[in-house]
Amino acid sequence: NRTSPFAFTGNKFEFRMLGSANSIACTNIMLNAAVAESLKIYADRLEGVDDFETALHDMIKKTIKDHKRIIFNGNGYDDAWIKEATEKRGLLNLRTTPDALPALLEKKNVDMLTAHKIFSPAEIVSRYEITLENYCKTVNIEGNTMVDMARKEIIPAVEKYVSDIATAYSAKKNSVAGISVKYEEDMLKKLSVLVDEMDAATKELETALVKYNTIKDITEASEAIRDDVLPKMSVLRIACDEAETITAESYWPFPTYGDLLFGVK
């Protein structure tokens, strides 16, 4: 049951709820507006017809024929459905806030929302701009926080671990002739590469954030967040995640994924 906020899915419970910073109100407004518009269209077609039953059945058949491409009873989690929906059925797949929000300003949507006295044109534009501004500010804060975490915490922690491994490497190699130091060599190579990757990714993210902060137009700024900042955040995260998997837990400056997912204290 997809309406359950706390569902048992066979081998686990799923908590399905909006984050505390979000509101369900806008979603409900749009759903109710769409239903109201559809009922209005149906009422306008059926009121005053001579043969109501025939007109009703004709309208139902036409509606299903016109919109049957949205009906899908397969696996909605499969990537094949995304391909079918976008390429074969011509359905929209708006994955980001900057992709989706411009639809709010389309004439047909503005006309519908104003006709039902839900929003005025000015209110629609203000919601568009405010939502984009919140999106930009939130990601900007997250990006700058990520830079600080990587530069001031994660990279120094991994470097300290590398330094201690290097010390152990030297101690072992100098204590017994021919002793194996393969583990230390492999770890030094892997971690040194990751430190370089994290450093480069941090610098690129910082550059992207500086560039974003020079943009005045909110639509252009949101596109910069989507196309430049978020991809660079993803690159930095991948490098940090990989470093976490091979860095000793005692050196890692933050709770690990294992702590967050399975630790109960």
Outline where the chain has alpha helix (H).
25-46, 52-67, 79-83, 97-100, 107-115, 121-149, 155-175, 182-212, 218-224, 230-246, 257-262
For the chain, the domains span 30-122, 126-262
Contacts 24+ apart (CB under 8 A), 72-80: none
Q: How many CA atoms lie within 13 A of 63 on its CB side?
A: 11
Q: Given this model, what pLDDT does residue 265 score?
A: 60
pLDDT tens figures, 141-186:
999 999 999 999 999 999 999 999 999 999 998 888 889 999 999 9
CATH number of 126-262: 1.20.120.1560
Distance CA 45, CA 33 (A): 18
Query: For 177-217, what is each residue's pLDDT tens digit?
Result: 889 999 999 999 999 999 999 999 999 999 999 999 999 99
Q: Which of 100, 98, 119 is nearest to 110 (CA)?
A: 119
Q: Which two tokens stand for residue 53?
A: 């039953």
pLDDT at 264 (0 to 100): 64
pLDDT tens track for 18-40: 888 888 899 999 999 999 999 99
Q: Is the pLDDT of residue 2 over 70?
A: no
Closest residue by Cα to residue 142 from 237, 256, 23, 259: 237
- Contact (CB, 8 A) for 141 and 157: no
- Confidence at residue 180, expressed as pLDDT on a 0 to 100 scale: 93
Q: What is the pLDDT of residues 96-142, one digit of tens each?
A: 999 999 999 999 999 999 999 999 999 999 999 999 999 999 999 99
The whole-number pLDDT of residue 144 equals 98
Q: Identify residue 168 by its one-letter amino acid code.
A: A
> 3-class secondary structure for 159-225?
HHHHHHHHHHHHHHHHHCCCCCCHHHHHHHHHHHHHHHHHHHHHHHHHHHHHHHCCCCCHHHHHHHH
Average pLDDT score over residue span 228-237: 98
Q: Can you give the pLDDT at residue 36?
A: 96
Helix (H/G/I), strand (E/B), else coil: 99: helix
pLDDT averaged over every residue in the chain: 93
Q: d(Cα 110, Cα 123) in Å, to the nearest integer? A: 10
